[in-house]
Amino acid sequence: MAKTREIYLCSVCGAQTLQWRGQCPNCHEWNTLEASAQSRPAAGRRAAASSGPGGADRPVPLRDVADAGHTPYGSGLKALDRVLGKGLVPGAAILVGGEPGIGKSTLLLQVAGLVAAQGKPVLYASGEESLPQIKARGERLNMLDPNLLALATSRVEDVLDALNGGASTPALVVVDSVQTLTSLEADGLPGNVSQVRAVATALLEACRRSGCTLILVGHVTKDGVLAGPRLLEHMVDTVISLEGDRRQMFRLLRVFKNRFGPNEELLVFRMGERGMQVVDDPSTFFLGARDASLSGTAVVMAVDGQRPLAVEVQALVARTFLSIPRRAALGFDANRLHLLLAVLEKRLKLNFGQVDIYAKVGGGMRLQEPGLDLALVAAVLSSYYDVPLPEKCVLWGEVDLNGQVRPVAAQDLRLSQARRLGFEPIVYPDGGAGNGKEKGGIATIAALQQRLFRRQ
C-alpha cells in the first residue's frame, strides 16, 4: 500500500508546503493553507510507472513523433472555430468559465450536439444535473443525436471508464463541471483544491492518451475569476470566459489563453429560445433602439480584442438637492468619471458643484479601454448644455489630466469601421489615424467643446 503524508495546500493558488504557515509563500494570501493527505508511492512502483508499457514514456526524437489523427475538426459553429483558431483539436483541453446561469451548459450542449451530428461520438458528463434534465434541455435545443451520450455522475472514475471504451472512445468530452466531481485519489469535499487538481489531472491525462478533446466547465468566484487553483489555467490549452448580464439577451465569449490561435478574441451571442445564436455583425448591436435626438448620449467606437464595436455612452446632469452632489457610473470604473469631471472643471471652467452626474454604458456592456474618455466627456457636456450631438457622430480618444486628447490603440481600425458604418462627424485624437492629416482630429477637450457645442 502507498504511504501517505500530510501537506498543506493553498486554497487560492494551489501551492504546496510541508509545514503550515500563516501566509502562503506563493501568492502571499493569509490563512489559506489547508491540511491535505497526499499518497506517496513506493520507489519500485514509481520506477515501474515511469518506464511505461513498452517504454512509451521514454524520450523519443521529436521528428519521429506521429501526428496522425490530430487534425482539428469543426465545432459546428464557424464563428467559434474562428475564435478558437483551428476549431477543436484532438487531445486539447478547453476551460470554460462564467457566472451561474450565464449559459455555459446551454452553449456546450449545443456544441456537443453539433459535433455528434457530424458522426463523431460525444460524451456529455454532468455532475450538476440529472439525465432527464439534460434531455429536456437537449429537446429544447433540438440536439438529441444518437452519437450524443450523456452521463450524470459525481465520480471522475465513471468518466474515465467511459473514455477507455476502445473503439467507442468519444471524440469530444464535456465535463460540467470540474468542481462537482470527486476522485478517490484525493481527500476532501468536491471543489476543494486537492479534488480539483486530482480530477483535472486524471481527465487531462486520459484525454491526451485517447486523443479526444476535453472541455471543462469551471465555476467563478464573486470577483469573476475562475475558482480553484490557478494551476488549472496553466494545465489547459485554452481558457474561455462567458460574460454578460443575465437580465440581458446577449453574451460575450472572450478567449484569454489560446495555444492554437489568437488571444483576446471576442464573440457575441444572443440568447434565444433555441439556445445561443451568433451575432454575425455586432458592430452596432449594442446601440439598440437609440434616439439620437436626446441630449446626454454619445457613441464611442470601442475595440474589444480585435473587434471594433459601436457602443452608446449616456450621461445625465441634473440639479442636486444634496449638500454633496452624487456621482454614479455603470459599465466602467467610477474613478474614471471623477477624474474626467475634475479635468472638465479645471480646463473648461465649468462648475459641477450643484449638480448630480450619472453615467453609464448602454446595452449592458462593460468597457475598460481608455478610448472611452472622449465619448464620456461629450455625453456629459451634451447633458450639461442640454444640446444633443449630431445624429451620426462617433468619438474615441484618451483624455489626460491637462485636457489633451491622446491617441489610443487600433486607430486605423476604428476609423475604417466608423466610415464603413456611415458615421459623420468622426471625432478622434489629432494625428492619431492614417497619416495624421485626416479631417476630424482634435487635440484638446476645449476643441471638442468648440466644435460640438460652439462654446468657449
Please enumerate, by residue number, every residue annotated as part of a binding site. Answer: 98-105
Cell of 370: 481608455
Cell of 393: 457622430
Identity of residue 269: F
d(CA 446, CA 456): 7
Of 216, 218, 229, 257, the closest CA to residue 102 belongs to: 218
Q: How many residues does the chain have?
A: 456
* CB-neighbour burial class of residue 236 (10 A; exposed 0-12, middle 13-18, buried 19+): buried
Which DSSP category does 73 fall into?
A: B
What does the CA dihedral 313, 319, 323, 328 come to, rounded to 10 degrees?
-10
| Count of alpha carbons within 13 angstroms of residue 440, beta-carbon side | 20
d(CA 161, CA 350): 70
d(CA 402, CA 411): 22
Do the bridges between strand 265-272 and strand 327-330 make them parallel or antiparallel, or are there none, so unpaired?
unpaired
Q: Count CB-CB contacts under 10 A for residue 274.
A: 12
Do the bridges between strand 93-98 and strand 238-243 make them parallel or antiparallel, or are there none, so unpaired?
parallel
Residues marked as binding for ATP?
A: 98-105
Which DSSP category does 219 fall into?
A: -
Q: Return the residue matching grid coordinates 489626460.
A: 400
